[in-house]
Amino acid sequence: MVFDVAIIGGGVIGLLSTLQLALAGQRVLLLDKAELGQEASWAGGGIVSPLYPWRYSPAVTALAHWSQDFYPMLGSQLLEKTGLDPEVHVTGLYWLDLEDEAEALSWAESRQRPLASVPIGEVYSHIPVLGAEFKKAIYMPDVANVRNPRLVKSLQAALAAMPNVTLKTGSEVQAFLQEGDAITGVYVDGIAIQAERVVVSAGAWSGSLLASVGIHLPVEPVKGQMMLFKCADDFLSSMVLAKGRYAIPRRDGHILVGSTLEHVGFDKKPTKAAHESLLSSAVELLPALENSQVVAQWAGLRPGSPEGIPYIGPVSAKPGLWLNCGHYRNGLVLAPASCRLLADLMTGEVPIINPAPYLPDSRLEIGYL
């Protein structure tokens, strides 16, 4: 069998790319070297916004806005199809004691986003467990968080029910099939699998895959560590962020605190230093967490890329090769728009947004092996 599309990497980007292409009638093979969604997609916090959206380029903003508006619908659709709720939870987000508050408010006004300054007394009324030393705040009421491990399970269940989708886990891609410069499939477990087009969505591992065909992709692993607490269901009603650290409430009282930013290669081991740093930040934000149960600490690897702008589209020098990777800290945030844009480009539909900033051809170094 020749697939229309083979997708390498079963994180949220690969899963949603598969879903969008399958809905467009494509026969899709999704490959992952382990289980689906167990890397950055599982490890992230799931805030459906860049941490500081006004500090990003218009390219990231365009994808973020489309995805933020789409996520509640996606959550409802997946729950209806699978019975598995991704828990797209609209809580709003408070940014505390920002140095660039004026820039943030100006950005929001120019883009008509609902971000506003709020009196700090109002914040403490809404979040009485907040640390006592904060002086000012801005608030965006419509920011959601998604419970990313459940999103992965829901997407996997939806895809498993589609007759034109094949999911193959525990299958590492060893090489690309090539005819001249064209990419015509992949070698998996020593078996040649043919596909008219191959999409690389392998997160932090995308660069090493592409190096095998002479493509230098400036995507590198950036480690992030998280900490999980268990509190009462009503402990925290909104997400809060200060000094680069955030607390995210789940509906069942779990509180996520993150995250670190470490350039240590492919090392995913949690560390004592990160534990101490995250706990200090957690207690500064929400002092009662000092006496709360720490459920877990873990680490994941983000696909770091220049300015956090993903690569989405075809590689002309290698006909048949497509990319949807390099989302850095915002894979979950940008996934719906990125994957819809990829599907639009692959199926000839009018793109949801201007694809120019993401196209690989103008941004990659390509050699010939």
pLDDT of 103-158, one tens digit each? 999 999 999 999 999 999 999 999 999 999 899 999 999 999 999 999 999 999 99
**C-alpha distances in angstroms, 235 versus 92, 128, 254?**
15, 9, 9
Long-range pairs for 276-283: beta carbons < 8 A, 24 or more residues apart: 278/225, 278/226, 278/227, 278/245, 279/227, 281/243, 281/245, 281/257, 282/227, 282/229, 282/245, 282/247, 282/255, 282/257, 283/131
**For range 39-45, the mean pLDDT:** 93
- pLDDT at residue 367, rounded to an integer: 58
Instruction: Label the pairing between strands 220-230 and 215-216.
Output: unpaired
> Domain residue spans in the chain?
3-46+150-219+306-366, 93-141+221-304
pLDDT of 240-293, one tens digit each? 999 999 999 999 999 999 999 999 999 999 999 999 999 999 999 999 999 998
Write the CATH number of the domain with boundaries 93-141+221-304: 3.30.9.10
Check pLDDT > 80 for residue 368: no
- pLDDT at residue 1, rounded to an integer: 75
pLDDT of 65-106, one tens digit each? 999 999 999 999 999 999 999 999 999 999 999 999 999 999
Instruction: Label the pairing between strands 191-200 and 321-325.
Output: parallel
The reply to whether domains 3-46+150-219+306-366 and 93-141+221-304 share a CATH topology is no
- Measured distance CA(79)–CA(223) in Å, rounded: 31
User: Which pTM value belongs to this model?
Assistant: 0.95
The answer to whether residues 296 and 172 touch, using CB atoms and an 8 Å cutoff, is no
- Domain 3-46+150-219+306-366 in this protein, CATH class: alpha beta
The pLDDT confidence band at residue 213, using thresholds 50, 70 and 90, is: very high
